[in-house]
Structure 1
């Protein structure tokens, strides 16, 4: 089924520059990191640009099943074109093929097969970009990893910006991504660590870029006690917020936490916030709250003694910035260069490399409330200095205008 989304579907031609954001999923109910970043930036740039999002009909990143209606619509003031995917992802088959391709000699054709298996395969989206590329002033592609970016950059044939959201992972070492990083005229990174990683791997070769990140905006009426009171908690708690699965290294966090409990009387509760993608052990001190509203999330983060981020595959970590803004120190996995950089640059958190360091750092933070408060103040100052929306949007606009000026 083809969506009726040709250039004739947009009768108005605004005086503002027309910018296309290309992303694998898009929607108010999609919480993925790069997708959330894309939506937050798109909604706020409409003040200066006619922003149009080109995306798929998929909602679930594991299957890419078509759930949204194809065609043209609006979301929070942003024009959205949706195109159907033509195949669902078989995760078992894909994981097996990934294990093979990351560890064995293979051909370029094998890598393209891997890209198709990963998806989301959406040829109508690529065809739309190719036919309508002259209708846009700039294309902005979010996330280097997926089919829409690889083929979309080829189809655009015009000034393009890449927001890679890259971290050091096996796919980044595949040959096909050299082409992805050669095509953009400019880049927007989420952290200095990500910029260094891309430069080491592919070379920026003098192309313009900015480290932008994401803006953090918290309501004034956040409560640091409401969640603890509602849950009837008689001890402090630490929190993890995000996708609860092995990809975020949550299994290691739970293992470390349960080992910590064995040697520390009256340990803090561990609160898990987000979508559940793994089996949790039966433990009365592990509290799974699932998806909650934004207001509840702020309350939970504000009331925590520490926010723990065990993942080492991050290009930004929005939760780290949100926690620091709220005055909650972070304890992060040092194997993640981005997270360690946040902790060091902000003086708003600590980091660990193994269980012994995790135990020592967590015990130190729990026993030193004055240090927690000091780290919290420093973290908040860091976010206010670098990650407010006016600052972030100014960096995006600088890159877009630089690219437009060269076109």
Structure 2
């Protein structure tokens, strides 16, 4: 589609590929698609791949698929940094003291000392700045520099409506108020922003998208063999960082209930381990039918999606949930939690189920229903795949974002 006008765009984000994560995948896919369309896109980001440490492991500069990426060294996130964040979050509300907001800014990171000056110096080369991911500290740094330079600002906050720490700090609210356009991930996020007083004309529902070419057909039997899964098994997949809020433990407990009546069921848990998951494996020990893999290659990730019968990720900390789209790319039904973002994406009973992580028995019942109704399960997966193709491809998201950029530039000119 396109706007017809080529633009010079600076994307500022906390992390960028090869770093993994939903927000990282969003900005990487968007940057590459806009560059493919002929826009001049540069990315300013940290050198990190892990927000737990902000360790500087990536090169300062590189070009990835037509996108120039400039990375800045960040201060490391250590024990005292986490302590500052916890102190700030514990006492910030309701007094909203500026000193506590400063602790939140410091504790969140990434603190990149060179970022502010670099944005300021580069400003004449760009038409606008697009800030990706609100609650990390790069957002406030980029916003301050862009404001001083007089550049239009658009923001994709990826906020979690249920988690005030992702948006309800004064400097974060200032970014939202000062942006010409806000890109909401879901209708639920848009409605939430409007309910908080942001003008509807400034909030556009965009969402995440997939480059479908990156999800080629996979041989199901070969994918299962890769993980040692029987060809005739019913496979429940957990795919993501194994941290408490992602819902690994309730998914495992629901699977163990299912396994009692369905001995051919298997649970495949794929994703980076954390202290949460390490404690979980120690608690439950080695269980029949449970297959665990840590961080895996993209090829193995796709094989896991192709191998499963259902993706179970009842996470309470999603701004969107791009992994649900990835499961739909292989026509798999999904199970998510009924939080604002996920409830706006998954149609309960149509392309997946919504189950709170506290409802372990209900989650087990939904898994058992999918086992008992394989034809209906396939129909649900196909419905999700159709939704993905209809609304959530990278090209469709880029169309929406291009339109938002054009409106931001028009509003800026009108104000001037």
Distance in 2, Cα, partners of 1:368 & 1:211: 34
TM (norm. structure 2) is 0.87
Question: How far is 1:102 from its partner?
Answer: 5.9
Structure 2 gaps, min length 5: none
How far does residue 180 in structure 1 lie from its aligned partner after superposition? 1.7
What is the deviation of 1:95? 5.7
- Please state if 1:79 is matched with 2:79: no
Q: Distance in 1 between matches of 2:249 and 2:135?
A: 25
Provide the rounded CA distance (Å) in 2 between the counterparts of 1:36 and 1:99: 27
- Do the aligned partners of residues 304 and 137 (structure 1) sit closer, same or farther apart at CA in structure 2, a change above 3 Å counting? same
Specify which of 165, 179, 186 is matched with residue 181 of structure 2.
186
Q: Distance in 2 between matches of 1:141 and 1:246?
A: 28
Note the alpha carbon deviations across 1:170-229, whole angstroms, 9 max, x for none.
313333322121110002222111212222235235325242421241444312221223
Q: SS of the residue aligned with 1:123?
A: coil
* Aligned-partner Cα distance in 1 for 2:96–2:398: 41
- Computed over aligned residues only, the root mean square deviation of the Cα atoms, in angstroms, reads 2.3
TM-score (norm 1): 0.88
Give secondary structure in 2 for the equivalent of 1:344: coil
Q: Are residues 1:341 and 2:330 paired?
A: no
| Contact map agreement 1:216 1:325 (CA 8 A) in 2 | no
Name the SS for the 1:188 alignment partner.
Answer: strand
106-115 vs 374-383, which moves further = 106-115
Runs of 5+ in structure 1 lacking a partner?
1-14
- Find the counterpart in structure 2 of residue 173 from structure 1: 168
- Per the alignment, residue 409 of structure 2 pairs with 404
1:276 paired with 2:266, answer no
1:111 Cα deviation from its structure 2 partner: 1.2
- Name the SS for the 1:173 alignment partner: coil
2:117 to 118, 122, 127: 127
Q: Write out aligned runs for 1:3-402 (5 A).
A: 16-28=6-18, 30-46=19-35, 47-70=37-60, 72-90=61-79, 92-94=82-84, 96-97=86-87, 100-101=90-91, 105-157=95-147, 158-168=151-161, 169-171=163-165, 172-204=167-199, 206-207=201-202, 209-217=204-212, 218-234=214-230, 235-261=233-259, 263-266=260-263, 268-277=265-274, 278-279=277-278, 280=281, 281-282=284-285, 283-334=287-338, 336-344=339-347, 347-353=350-356, 354-402=359-407
Note the C-alpha offset of 1:242.
Answer: 1.0
Q: What do the CA deviations read for 1:268-297 (whole angstroms, capped 9, x no partner)?
A: 211011111121232232211223333332
Aligned length: 389
| Partner secondary structure for residue 15 of structure 2 | coil
The change in CA–CA distance for 1:93 and 1:401 in structure 2 (over 3 A counts) is: same
- Residue pair 1:274, 1:289 contacting (<8 A) in 2 also: yes
**Residues 175, 406 of structure 1: CA spacing in aligned structure 2 closer, same or farther, 3 A cutoff?**
closer
Partners of 2:96 and 2:85 lie apart in 1 by: 16
| Cα distance change of structure 1 residues 363 and 163 upon mapping to structure 2, 3 Å threshold | same
Please give the secondary structure, in 1, of the residue aligned with 2:254: helix
| TM superposition shift of 1:166 | 1.1
Q: 1:228 to 1:57 in 2, by over 3 A?
A: closer
